[in-house]
Structure 1
Amino acid sequence: MSDEVYDGAVGIDLGTTYSCVANYDGNNVEIIANEQGSFTTPSFVSFTAEERLIGEAAKNQAAMNPANTVFDVKRLIGRRFDDPTVKKDIESWPFKITDNAGAPMVQVEYLGETKTFSPQEISSMVLLKMKEVAETKLGKKVAKAVVTVPAYFNDNQRQATKDAGAIAGLNVLRIINEPTAAAIAYGLGSGKSDKERNVLIYDLGGGTFDVSLLHIQGGVFTVKATAGDTHLGGQDFDTNLLEHFKKEFTRKTKKDLSGDARALRRLRTACERAKRTLSNGTQATVEIDSLFDGEDFNANITRARFEDINAKAFNGTIQPVEQVLKDANIDKSKVDEIVLVGGSTRIPRIQKLLSDFFNGKKLEKSINPDEAVAYGAAVQAGILSGKATSADTADLLLLDVCPLSLGVAMEGNIFAPVVPRGTTVPTIKKRGTALTGATKFSKLPPESYSQLCLIATRLSEEIKSEKRMLVFKGSASSIFAKFFGLGLLRGPQAHVTASFREVKSTQLHAHQLNLVDEGSTWSS
């Protein structure tokens, strides 16, 4: 590889279980294979006394080195240690998670020492691997990328993902939602059409689940609504199957393997293999020699039993579909196309549930569910880096939505929404809030006393003053007190302006706090 830097950008699908990288050269999108010839790379990182392994090599180490092989880190990124989902995951992971001032940290043995890494650092290692895969193919250094995240990721999770990119040496041009990226892949690929249509993207991956409804007309992709679960996917189906086989092993041998990380890893790998087999056949066999305490394990599982074990999880994927239709105010009969994305959509029961919900409607399986997100990310990367020159992408306009409501904290620890979820971005929203109360100020410095008196007079506030004490009655809000540093600054009405300057941003920018009365304004 030369020292020349690639002038374009790549698209990276940073998945919970597998990741994928693609490049758009202006005319075609290429999904880039890794050194094993696979188009997807396991999101695994393994640490040993001699080296650090990433991808296939790391996953192959999982059974032999379970305590130092890290996976599922996407379920940690941007979360707090005391998050209930984190607590639950920690119970099932063989590697150790520690608490660092409320932030979860991964603890491993590496190069003969105990090391701790943040979820961002572990994710950066996976991103670095995908960066190297792209560099090997392009023969140049890759410096820019578009990275995808689940549509229901919050701002902390999105920012943490962007930080991971920076640690990996990537300038992350934009963070985009996975189902939106998949919609681009479908809209520019096999689903290309100039006609106006409503397209539902059903994205069920290894660890997250998203549903988005888009209105597509020509090159304009407008997201109407989105919903999902950042903690539901193929890994959960594997876990349910794992619990089933653990009980089966105990029933047969009278032994409990719950405390053996190596045995659990081997059994989980067998469960994943059985799950894949059941997507094509009606029965699978699990055979593991000397699984635990010298005991071999052999068991059969039918597709019907697998579906029964995961019935609650499977049925739970329909609720977000209903939510999306409700938020978009569209009847399910008005959905023109249903596109399947994510490896877990290969499960026959999932497909039947979705088809039945839409009254037997045919599901679109024309795009590769494992590669579609990276494909769409690559197109967006090409547009942002100036590589997109074809007619297909020249007029492409992507209008996404804010998946979660954004707002401000009001007095009494009350959340006041400013930008409701489902709002198309970019957008500007304002919210007016009037609060009442009475506040006493004492021992005020002369300059603050004078300024408060002046403001109170201008706002026609009812005040009582003596020496260095003021008592305000009427409208009030302590939020502005801390903001102006005057103890408490009172005003009858507060206006908060939230501004989205770029489509990629989902962070609330409350950049102006005004006190308004009959045309008089004091602002920050």
Structure 2
Amino acid sequence: MAAIGVHFGYTCACVAIFKDGRADVVANDAGDRVTPAVVAYRDTEQIVGIAAKQGRVRNAANTVVKVKQVLGRSYDDPETQNHRTETKCQVVDKQQKPYYEITVGEYPQYVSPEDVAKLILHKMKETAQSALGSDVTDAVITVPFEFAQAQKRALRDAAEAAGFNVLRLIHEPAAALLAYNIGQDSSSGKSHVLVYKLGGTSLSVTVLQVNGGIFRVLSTHTDHSIGGESFTQALAQHLAAEFKRTFKYDVSENARAMMKLMNGADMAKHSLSSLGSANCFVDSLHDGMDFECNVSRARFELLCSSLFNKSIQPIRPLLEKAGLSTSSINKVVLCGGSARIPRLQQMIRELFVDVELLSSAPTDEVIAVGAALQAGLLVGRESLAPEEESVTVDVSAIDLLVKEVDESGAEMFTVLLPSGTPLPARKHHTMTGAGKLSSVCLEIYQGCVMEHPEKLAKIILRDLQPSEENHNIDAVVTMKRDGSVHVSCVEQSTGRSEAITIAAAS
């Protein structure tokens, strides 16, 4: 029985195969075990991976990066708007959805984020199948803990369009634990594990309780303002300052030159994780002038000292939120490419003095390995019951809201279950509707009030008797451990009731 595990990240993707009882990461056709999640559009073809990333200097307007940021989001979503301002590829609004405007050939083409993700996932599938030598399509794909239903759905759709049979989506922290076989020994009793992930564009820290084979999320924190690219940016700014000092010319406002410096800084940063110094060479940086600069690891650590502090700052507050201290943690699992930076590992070790720090597997591969192991467990089973999820969602990852209309006719949102609420949770909410109405509508949303929350469900109480007094509606919202939501509402005077269940995306 063979199966595939895929970690589809913001900046990179990685694929592992499960075969003969073990999971191994597979190198792509360029010989790399991690593939940049970058797609370049040319006249007759689409290029995925390192060639697309390196060619971005010449073809930035038709190169899509960080597609995971907008996957499953509406055009108005603040994340989409952030993505629009950051990317060199034009993002346009088509039926309230973001599309990339690609200008190759005579006419512009409009490409959806799902189509871009499909190409990256197809590359992962080809990579896995060439290693297996057979047409295996069963796969487990990882998702961030904070992904909303629409984002999970979009990723699943893209994977299926790429030819995968998606056995399950599992959360990234759970995959990291599976890769180290944590919780698979049911006699080990209760323990606490911190999963620290520093990827290309985001930091996420999750505290889990492990009891037998059950993972329970106690608290989680995600910060999209820091990631590996922040470190690359700091190094590129230093290189630009060195160029200015040597050649008396400022390239920091030149987008093409800065992209070249970012590529050079990225390679130097990777080298500095294993070497004491790295040479950075950029061909024809400005006016035909080549640029060469040697950077020591000590210099890099000095340049990024505030970023290192920012990277570990969320750990203590997160533990406090879960009612734990650093000494309560039994293991720390490192994942994400930037978690291999030696200075960062040293700072985490200093924080968790006597705790086992698990980093023996390459940090940018560990999540894919866990996904492949989960795929191996699932592929032999006849039925895939959603209750057999390997991670139990024991806090809500996202705010749950109700939308109603006040007396002036203005829409207002009320947070029923804020993110971080221990599950299962139950909340009563009473809403009023004008007595003259014959029907009252209740809408349930998830997300942040300030950032265009996503509508999950709508309940309409019909055939109400018009009266002099307002209609009083009692609503009860229950969220189960698996993230599913049950909503029931009753009109007090008549007893008319409606109920709905919103399934968790598996």
Q: TM-score, normalised by structure 2?
A: 0.81
C-alpha distance 486-268 of structure 1, shift in aligned 2 (>3 A): farther
| Alignment partner, residue 400 of structure 1 | 393
C-alpha distance 41-218 of structure 1, shift in aligned 2 (>3 A): same
1:357 and 2:351 aligned: yes
Q: 2:188 aligns to what SS in structure 1?
A: coil
| Alignment partner, residue 484 of structure 1 | 462
| Alignment partner, residue 421 of structure 1 | 419
Q: 5+ unaligned residues in a row in structure 1: which ranges?
A: 1-6, 389-394, 453-478
Q: Deviations over 1:252-275 (max 9, x none)?
A: 444444565543332111010111
Q: Distance in 1 between matches of 2:82 and 2:248?
A: 26
Q: Distance in 2 between matches of 1:171 and 1:372?
A: 22
Q: 2:488 aligns with which of 512, 516, 524?
A: 512
For residues 288-367 of structure 1, the aligned pairs below 5 Å read 288-359=282-353, 361=355, 363-367=357-361
Q: Distance in 2 between matches of 1:123 and 1:232?
A: 23
Q: Distance in 2 between matches of 1:231 and 1:510?
A: 34
C-alpha distance 100-238 of structure 1, shift in aligned 2 (>3 A): farther
| Alignment partner, residue 284 of structure 1 | 278
Instruction: Give the aligned residue type for 2:474.
Output: A
Q: Distance in 2 between matches of 1:322 and 1:141?
A: 46
Q: 1:94 aligns to what SS in structure 2?
A: coil
Q: Deviations over 1:202-233 (max 9, x none)?
A: 11112222111122233332222222224531
Q: 2:111 aligns with which of 97, 107, 117?
A: 117
C-alpha distance 496-244 of structure 1, shift in aligned 2 (>3 A): farther
1:225 and 2:219 aligned: yes
Is the 2:48–2:120 contact (alpha carbons within 8 Å) kept by the matching residues of 1?
Answer: yes
Instruction: Give the aligned residue type for 2:170.
Output: I
| Alignment partner, residue 427 of structure 2 | 431
Instruction: Give the aligned residue type for 2:175.
Output: A
Q: 2:140 aligns with which of 120, 143, 146?
A: 146
Q: Distance in 2 between matches of 1:155 and 1:494?
A: 26
Report deviation, 1:373. 0.5
Q: Distance in 2 between matches of 1:430 and 1:49?
A: 55
Alignment size in residue pairs: 472
| Alignment partner, residue 4 of structure 1 | none
Q: Distance in 1 between matches of 2:377 and 2:414?
A: 36
Q: Distance in 2 between matches of 1:396 and 1:338?
A: 22
1:44 and 2:19 aligned: no
Q: Deviations over 1:184-203 (max 9, x none)?
A: 11135999983532111111
Q: Deviations over 1:82-105 (max 9, x none)?
A: 555555554443333333355332
Instruction: Give the aligned residue type for 2:28.
Output: N
For residues 438-477 of structure 1, the aligned pairs below 5 Å read 439=434, 441=436
Instruction: Give the aligned residue type for 1:421.
Output: S
Q: Distance in 1 between matches of 2:188 and 2:43?
A: 57
Q: Distance in 1 between matches of 2:44 and 2:459?
A: 56
Report deviation, 1:129. 0.8
| Alignment partner, residue 494 of structure 1 | 474
Report deviation, 1:377. 1.1
| Alignment partner, residue 197 of structure 2 | 203
Q: Deviations over 1:114-138 (max 9, x none)?
A: 2221222211110111111122233
Q: Distance in 1 between matches of 2:75 and 2:126?
A: 31
Q: 1:353 aligns to what SS in structure 2?
A: helix
C-alpha distance 185-418 of structure 1, shift in aligned 2 (>3 A): farther
Is the 1:214–1:222 contact (alpha carbons within 8 Å) kept by the matching residues of 2?
Answer: yes
Q: 5+ unaligned residues in a row in structure 2: which ranges?
A: 383-387, 441-456, 500-506
1:240 and 2:237 aligned: no
Q: Distance in 2 between matches of 1:225 and 1:262?
A: 41
Q: 1:165 aligns to what SS in structure 2?
A: helix
Which structure: larger Rg?
Answer: 1
Q: 1:523 aligns to what SS in structure 2?
A: strand
C-alpha distance 486-100 of structure 1, shift in aligned 2 (>3 A): farther
Q: 1:145 aligns to what SS in structure 2?
A: strand
For residues 3-18 of structure 1, the aligned pairs below 5 Å read 9-18=3-12
Report deviation, 1:339. 1.5
Q: 1:50 aligns to what SS in structure 2?
A: coil
1:522 and 2:497 aligned: yes
Q: TM-score, normalised by structure 1?
A: 0.78
| Alignment partner, residue 465 of structure 1 | none
Q: Distance in 2 between matches of 1:208 and 1:31?
A: 23
C-alpha distance 244-166 of structure 1, shift in aligned 2 (>3 A): same
Instruction: Give the aligned residue type for 2:271.
Output: T
Q: 1:271 aligns to what SS in structure 2?
A: helix
Q: Distance in 2 between matches of 1:322 and 1:288?
A: 40
C-alpha distance 431-410 of structure 1, shift in aligned 2 (>3 A): farther
Is the 1:26–1:382 contact (alpha carbons within 8 Å) kept by the matching residues of 2?
Answer: no
| Alignment partner, residue 475 of structure 1 | none
Q: Distance in 1 between matches of 2:421 and 2:129?
A: 38
Is the 1:150–1:208 contact (alpha carbons within 8 Å) kept by the matching residues of 2?
Answer: no
Q: 1:157 aligns to what SS in structure 2?
A: helix
Q: 2:161 aligns with which of 167, 170, 192?
A: 167
For residues 85-164 of structure 1, the aligned pairs below 5 Å read 86-111=80-105, 113-164=107-158
| Alignment partner, residue 262 of structure 2 | 268
Q: Deviations over 1:336-393 (max 9, x none)?
A: 11111111011122122222223475522223212210111122223333369xxxxx
Instruction: Give the aligned residue type for 2:498.
Output: S
